[in-house]
Homo-oligomer: A and B are copies of this chain.
Amino acid sequence: MTQVLRLGLPAGSLQEATAELFRRAGYKLSFTSRSYYPSIDDPEIHCTLIRAQEMARYVRDGSLDCGLTGYDWIVENDAQDDVVELAELVFSKVSRRPVRWVLAVPQDSPIHTEQDLQGKRIATEVVNITQRWLAQRGITAQVEFSWGATEVKPPRLADAIVEATETGNSLRANNLRVVAEILTSTTRFIAHPAAAADPWKRQKMDDLVLMLRGAMAAEGKVGLMMNVRKVDVEKVLQVLPALQKPTISALSDPEWVDVMTIIDEDVVRHLIPRLKAAGACGIVEYPINKIIM
């Protein structure tokens, strides 16, 4: 009988970014509208779309072998001790910065320190995280579950909010001031302990994580190749960043070598003028898909 890995993928705002990451990692993931079971071109993996908020719940109870979700929702479900974290995956729909959950108030609010929250009304999607954070500080406040649009609620519908932010744009647009940072969160690949202990499932998950990391590592990277006179090789290598050992190939003309390396796309424009000055010629930049160091 075929073994199957039951994998949960986050529905909603991260869905397209996840599919794109899998695609670059070499998996064809496709969503049929209205279906919550995306197809993947690996018959040994069965995917289910689940809201990120609920992922930890279903991995913990073994309904799924593993899944991708945010560290925030793992904590909100109080599941951090019940699931095994196999990898941290830094990617997101807007930026590559981690998500920060902050406690924010209107610019002109009288609330300036954590203690000022005593007796106030706080709206948030992460009620448990917020209540635990308040309890640790001995503060009593009314924490209300917010169904959405949390950032527009102060001051009329709440005194403060706890809300996720990546760039801070939404806070600025709503004229809010950060009082405290509650939690920083990135995407995690989590597994049920029994799945992590099963050799077949573990190998399957490790391979998947290796490929996802390869695709993430290649993002924003390009290949560079150039011809260099042997006498100039040392100078050229000093210009190149130490990230990866360049490949130096012999050419049929014994006075020249070919140098190949992988570098960050956004330093290319700083490097090329210096490489040229150091004696490199015929510099060619080419795209890459994946890199496994």
The residues of A with any CB-CB pair to B shorter than 8 Å are 11-12, 25-28, 34, 36, 41, 48-51, 53-54, 57-58, 63, 144, 146-149, 152, 156-157, 173, 206-207, 210-211, 214, 218, 222-223, 225, 227, 233, 244-245, 247-253, 257-258, 260, 262, 265-266, 268-270, 272-273, 276, 281-293
Contact = CB atoms under 8 A, between A and B. Distances in A.
A290 B281 contact: no
Given A173-B34, A269-B25, A286-B287, A248 B247 contact: no
Given A248-B253, A252-B257, 6 more contacts: A50-B157, A54-B146, A214-B272, A227-B247, A283-B290, A285-B289
Nearest to A271: B26
A260 to B, nearest CB: 8
A166 to B, nearest CB: 16
B284 A291 contact: yes
Nearest to A261: B282
A269 B11 contact: no
A75 to B, nearest CB: 16
B269 A292 contact: no
Contacts of A257: 252
B287 A289 contact: yes
A51 B149 contact: yes
Nearest to A156: B63
Contacts of A262: 282, 284
A267 to B, nearest CB: 9
A147 B54 contact: yes
Nearest to A230: B252
Given A214-B272, A249-B251, A152 B36 contact: yes
B283 A286 contact: no
A225 B260 CA distance: 11
Contact of A286 (B214, B247, B286): B286
Given A63-B156, A247-B282, A266 B214 contact: no
B149 A49 contact: yes
Contacts of A147: 51, 53-54
